[in-house]
Amino acid sequence: MASQDRFHSLDAVAELRSVTRSYGRITALQGIDLELRRGELMALLGPNGAGKSSAIALWLGLAEPDSGEARLLGGSPLAVDRRRGVGVMMQDVGLVNGLKVRELIEQTASYYPDPMSVDEALEITHIKALAQRYYDKLSGGQKRQVQFALAICGRPPVLFLDEPSVGMDVAARAILWAAIRRLRDGGCSILLTTHYLEEAEILADRVVVLSKGRIVASGTVGEVRALVSRRHIRCDSTLSTAELADWPGVVCVSRSEQRLTILATDAEGVLRRLLARDQAVANIEVQQAGLAEAFIELTKEAA
């Protein structure tokens, strides 16, 4: 009984505990502990092959761990009543051709105990104009919008979004982000995978970075960024980019007119040298590097 108690977190709606999962000689997950908490939006990041899709497959009951345990909404992901509490938007989606968008939403909503009305799903996702169009005649971005509507139409308490904005234009992506925030604010627990790190930076309450089947970082966006030492230094200076590029601690440097942008691993050392070399330097700004730089550095270190 004690071994089961460690699983039961009141805040967790999906859990992996000491989970290992292999495909032949390839180990996709290596003894990881991971949980999606109630009412949060967690971004699960990692390069291709890091184990993100394997983790989702375990939570959806599409695969079983070689060791460890997966839980969904307090029970087995294989149980039908647990699956009815989940909405899913995967990268690779096969839907029946010959159905209109409204018909697809009606069909999907019928699987859930308390679904949205079709009109509500169309309104939240801003696809009313597509309702009477055949799904297989839509563009790639429009299909992704419809797939999002299908994922949320059952009012699931848990939502898995695997690269949801791929193929969407800027306007559609903004609509998607607004809908995701609305769902999270309404209490939905959301797991998001994305290669658009800007998306994770804008939306996520918590970020988990996977590399080669292991967790290499976890925390808020700010906490993950703070794990790496890189800083952006911006200033007005006449020093050449070629000279700066050779300084210790400088990763890269660029110029726009008089404005220099320096990415540095030793911001303090670079600043001291900058002030010594150019007494006319002005308008100095120092900012922590973004999530993209942190992601690159963390996954490189784990390689």
**pLDDT tens digits, residue range 183-209?**
999 999 999 999 888 899 999 999 999
List, in sequence order, the alpha helices (H) in 153-290. 170-185, 197-203, 221-226, 241-245, 267-277
- Model pLDDT, residue 297: 76
Comparing 45-54, 248-257, 258-267, 286-295, the range with the smallest average pLDDT is 286-295
pTM of the entire predicted model? 0.79
CB 214 within 8 A of CB 30: yes
One domain for residues 87 and 234: no
CA–CA dist 265, 23 (Å, integer): 38
**pLDDT tens digits, residue range 65-97?**
999 999 999 999 999 889 899 999 998 777 878
**pLDDT of residue 152 exceeding 80:** yes
Return the number of other C-beta atoms located less than 10 Å from residue 129's C-beta: 10
What CATH number is associated with residue 252? 3.30.70
**pLDDT tens digits, residue range 6-46?**
344 568 999 999 999 999 889 999 999 999 999 999 999 98
What CATH number is associated with residue 51? 3.40.50.300
Give how many domains the chain has, as a whole number.
2
| Domain of 73, in residue numbers | 2-225
- Model pLDDT, residue 301: 60
Return the number of other C-beta atoms located less than 10 Å from residue 139's C-beta: 11
One domain for residues 182 and 248: no
